[in-house]
Amino acid sequence: MTIERIQGTDGIRGIVRLAEDCSGSDPISVFLHEAVLTEEFFELYTYAYCQELLEADFASANDLAVIGWDPRDMSGSFNHSAIRGIRKAGLTAVVVDILPTPAISLYQLHVGAACAFVLTASHNPADQNGIKIFIGHSNLKLFPEDDKRLTQRCLSLNFENLRSAPLIGELRNDHAAARKLFIEFMADPQNHWLNEDSLAGAKIIVDAANGAFSPLIEDLLNYESADYIFTNCDPAQGINVRSGVADLEGVSSISADEIENGLFSGYETLEKMLASGREQKEKQLNNSGQVLGFVFDGDGDRCFLLCYDPFQDCVLVVGGDTQAFFQAKLLQQNYSWNQVPLFVNTVESDLEAGRAVQQIGFETMQCAVGDKWILWQSCFYDWQAKLEYYLNKIAASQFRILQEQVRTRLEQMVQSTKFDALFATT
């Protein structure tokens, strides 16, 4: 059987188990025959990708590789193994510990790292883990061609040789610096759409999913005008257990009976939404108060909005498509553009959301399922806009030749549909 690619939509993830508890002799055979990721697999995987960057001259010895995770690996075995893989390849492992995925990718850009690894299985259950990769400079996630090369490299490596390889790369811990950068970045008015009065009088229940946002969410949301209640901020209670976005997927509203006696009984966030909503029902009926909920997933790169409906005594669940429409409408009201703005969603997105943003003046585009494809369209669209700007400002022939070469390479990649993040970034 020919194996072309072992990754899924966004990196690799699956059930995890220590190598000593598996019957296979090496991490690849365990993965292929037992459908299990071991700590040895994590070491092999990070080593293989760092080795690829070095051999492609995208990175040099002791360049930085940022690595962080959500809190599901309570023993640290998988986290430490992934760090060893980076160091055995010869890169410097910059450990940022438990942070949300956006904070880890932001820090990669900030320090100019060759790549970033995020150890997480996102909204999946606590018995699973995985690895997401961001490539340096562009911050793109790996595309299918990248996945295929990494797969073949993993399949060809002899883990026994890797097991005894020396730790030649350096190690440093930048958790405090990365945490500070993320909080300051999010607090900067240029990076969010809130002002001090936006949430005045609101009661907001924030669900950290016992995940990556748990240690910092209270420092991040410190607007005094709102009353916050923080739930599911204890990783020891189990990441994504009766918390987070996973069980809300595809749900548009949750009745009081479902929360008190039914499917969502025992969900602390929903119970507090219902109780707080009833307490402030009169205020809400008079448009003088709101009861909202922010619900994250395990690694903090997804968020659902909850709203208490005082008329139906239920909790409304606002997913990503509707949130994106609200964001587009806010941008349209607050900004003006020289050209029609682009709204990108996936083939699985709500068609009505696409029609709605068209009606308020956006160009729409659908892409394949996965953050990587939305990120790619954003990067490509942004590059085209900057290219047009700089070509009007810089007349040097060498610059124009270089830009034409880049344009040709990217257009050829798009036309061939062989998407390659390393190629696009280089």
What integer pLDDT is reported at residue 426 of this predicted model?
Answer: 82
Separation CA 205–CA 156 (nearest Å): 49
What integer pLDDT is reported at residue 400 of this predicted model?
Answer: 84
Residue tagged 């598996």 (tokens):
22
Residue 361, phi-psi category: left (phi > 0), alpha (psi -120 to 50), beta (remainder): left
pLDDT tens digit string along 307-325?
999 999 999 999 999 999 9
Helix then strand count (H, E) for the chain reads 16, 14
Closest Cα partner for 40 from 80, 92, 93? Answer: 80
Tokens of 152: 């073949």
Homologous superfamily (CATH) of 12-182 is Alpha-D-Glucose-1,6-Bisphosphate, subunit A, domain 3 (3.40.120.10)
The answer to whether the Cα torsion of 221, 244, 202, 200 is positive or negative is: positive
pLDDT tens digit string along 236-257?
999 999 999 999 999 999 999 9
Summarize the confidence of residues 58-76 as an average pLDDT: 97
Q: What are phi and psi of 115, to 5 degrees?
A: -165, 170
pLDDT tens digit string along 185-211?
999 988 888 777 778 888 999 999 999
What integer pLDDT is reported at residue 1 of this predicted model?
Answer: 65
Separation CA 132–CA 66 (nearest Å): 12
Tokens of 51: 């080795």
Summarize the confidence of residues 400-418 as an average pLDDT: 85
Asked if domains 12-182 and 193-318 share a fold, the reply is yes
Tokens of 120: 């997480």
pLDDT tens digit string along 27-45?
999 999 999 999 999 999 9
Beta bridge partners of 15: 128
SS3 107: helix
Summarize the confidence of residues 330-335 as an average pLDDT: 87
pLDDT tens digit string along 338-376?
888 889 999 988 889 899 999 999 999 998 988 899 989
CB 292 within 8 A of CB 204: yes
Q: Tell me whether strands 203-207 and 253-255 are parallel, antiparallel or unpaired.
A: unpaired
User: Going by C-beta distance under 8 Å and a sequence separation of 6 or more, which residues neighbour residue 65?
Assistant: 46, 50, 59, 86, 91, 92, 93, 94, 113, 114, 115, 116, 117
**CA dist 37 → 13, 124, 132, 249, 383 (Å):** 8, 14, 14, 26, 37
The answer to whether the Cα torsion of 134, 140, 141, 144 is positive or negative is: negative
CB 64 within 8 A of CB 92: yes
Name the DSSP letter for residue 236: G
Residue 417 has pLDDT above 90, yes or no: no
CATH of domain 193-318: 3.40.120
More confident residue, 369 or 73: 73
pLDDT tens digit string along 261-296?
999 999 999 999 999 999 998 888 887 789 999 999
Cβ neighbour number for residue 395 with a 10 Å cutoff: 8
Residue 24 has pLDDT above 90, yes or no: no
Amino acid type, 58: F
**Domain residue extents for the chain:** 12-182, 193-318, 320-374
